[in-house]
Structure 1
Amino acid sequence: MRHMLKSMLVRYGYEITTATDGTEGHGILSTQSFDFILCDVQMPKMNGMEFLTAAKDKLLSTTVIMMSAYGNIDMAIEAMKLGAYDFISKPFKNEEIRLTIKKAEERERLKRENLELKDRICRIAGSLSFGNMVGRSQVMQDVFSIALKVARFNSTVLITGESGTGKELVAQGIHQESDRRTGPMVPVNCASIPENLIESELFGHVKGAFTGADKDKKGLFEVAEGGTLFLDEIGDIPVALQPKLLRVLQEGEIRPLGAARARSIDVRVIAATAKDLEAEMRTGQFREDLFYRLNVIPIRLPPLRERAEDIPLLCQFFITRFNDALGSSIKNVSPATMAALMQHGWPGNIRELENAIERAIVLADGNTLEVENFSLVNAGAIKPDGDSGYEGFSLKAGKAALEDRLIRKALTATGGNRTHAANMLEISHPSLLSKMKLYGIE
């Protein structure tokens, strides 16, 4: 029976291991894992039911199909209780075994897809991170949601945004969430490759294609086979090379420089740019057909000044990273300093903030980052104006007017985030809510 089943299942493309009884099978499970186990009930040394009981902890991800010539309903029910997926009575036809395994495969596939879908839904519903990016602002939650959705497909993605906003991190996150995660992720900066070399770098060349080509060379498209190619600064790719890139995206094939024929390629392309490609099209610097082929799924990354409410979260993220890298023990940023950081324009975006945090940690004397640790922040910017708008002499009324003004200013700076505003004002959250009600602040 073992030889017959092995011969049949090998023909169907399965890899097979056999055991003469339950004891031997239990021993094999200590060193190997299996998708499916076909197990007889009547065996010497350890029968099938004893095997199910003994190997229970090792069968969590394995589908077990029991077989017996002495089977009955009670035995089948008992086998199911012990963890078996199905029970087949002998004698059986070959096709019956094959269909049972196929049904089990479909069940396992649906279970995996269901778990992946639940995981993605949970993350889309409120995750503060995507890959190596963090953000609680609505604009970043929208970015994370789109990126997670598109990761399941092979559609081309065009990521736009100012320099330093994290375009490559989004591309890495999409790759890691995709079915291509086990393949390579190959980043290439189109602006950093000389124009006379970029075709060879992307598509490769054959020996003798040009002076100095003394051997065949794989291009980056071939290096990324089965994975993702990230074309950063796509707006800087030469106009003369754009038709060849368009053909790769449309036909899924490349032709190395000097080669006589093209070859198919399985690569997902994610492109990014800080340029306005629509403006580049109007001046003739970027092909319209290539733009629309790249812009299947557009993702715009907002500059940091448009998501100031993410700055506290980003600061903590970078503090934790640099504490590990530098061996420091910084705990937080002082409220006054956080107010200054949130009011800064950050023309260099996330990259500038990251560098500023690293420098501040190096310069800090205590375990809290202060204004003087940030050379880019104007300390005067965090000092409230002397004029509160109150014209009278009552200290009580003047204090109320100043509190009203500072609370409104903090809420504006944090985009309405009351928790962060309370930290900046150095009061408790309940106290802030009480004062907002007192001063009629919505």
Structure 2
Amino acid sequence: MSRDIFNEANEHFLKSGRQYEYGRPDMSLRNHGGDGHTDSSRTEQDNDHDGRLGVDCSSFVWRGMHDAGYGVPATPFGTHDLFEGNTPTRYARNHFDVISAGDAHQKNGSLQPGDVLMFRDKHGSGQHVAIFKGYDAEGHIHFIGSQVGSGPAEVNVTPGGYWDGKNMEIVGALRAKPEFRVREPLHGNSQGGPTASTPSAPHGPATHATPQPPAPPGHTTSAQSGVAHEAPLRHGDKGDQVRDLQATLQRLGYKDEHGHALQPDGDFGGHTKAAVERFQRAHGLHADGVAGPETKEALRAAAPRLDAAGHPHQALYHQSRDAVHRLDAQHQRTPDLQSDQIAGVLTTKAIDQGMTRVDHAVLNDDASKIYAVQGELNSPFKKVAEASTQEAANTSLEESGRQSLQVAAQQTQQQAVGAPTQAPQPLAPSQNA
């Protein structure tokens, strides 16, 4: 039955004749073809007008499941709706049989076409999902999915290669439970191999004109109309959906009105409302403290703040912040939000220069430039990253969090194809700069 997930995704993305590329709204990455960059849409829209529709890995899997007749939500889920690191979510455990990492990784193993493969970035917090196709003659995994460089494509997992421990590692797989299916597949039920290519329906909105299926956490179904819709969460609500909201805000680094981390207790109180408002303001949303459809969609697409425990560059940010605060003290200045935002930009600049730590922050003579320095200030072997002081002071930690992930992802992609990863070093400041 789960084979239909593969068949439908294959029909929709690889056989339809439509052109696709990787896309997500929170960052732009280099890719092959089109305008040379990924789209800002993850839901099959062409926002950059290069003739290719944007889709990310989780939307790719969602489309295969939706068209295969499974009860997925009306809008695409994200990878974090399915798993966190090595751990499947409650939603995943309710609707899928979980296959362990060892079993999923096994050569000539027991995976079936349509199983959802889960990958984790070994060097950061990135996650990826794809649809298992089969094993090759040597027992190696083949999958289809949407990748940054290629968009929707088939991939052969090479032992010890990019998808097998070098950059990404398989942390398990999910097999949709039979009872999760609520209607027949779009292209008919399949009992054998992949279906033959059939004419595709005209491309329109992300969902087909089919009855709306049951919804996962974060959605409810109207008993009167049967139409799936987002259930707003607000002050006074309690339950698992509130707990998931609190955990997401905590992971992204949004704190309460006193600057304290949220405790996922399932009780939507004043602290949770304040954290929701902070998130809404940071993302240009109406700050009413209610987690409605727009806020939930933004949460699904959001990257963590640099100061969030879940951000892979938090430790480097803390080093940058400490260095900037020491610089403030040298100038008899009290560290404030602008200090922290400067540290955020220096973190991204340091990553771009291949730095692994920040030991010092120094200014030039007129304080128009600020530098992050790795190593001793007078050492000829120090590494330096440069930023505009004014621009850095006005760049939010949300934006720096996104930019740092984008820079790191570009470096990972360039390393995969053997391209250089660092920009030219800026002129290093002297100890007196």
TM-score (norm 2): 0.22
Greater per-residue helix proportion: 1
Larger radius of gyration: 1
Larger relative contact order, structure 1 or 2 (CA cutoff 8 Å, min sep 6): 2
Greater per-residue strand proportion: 2
TM-score (norm 1): 0.22
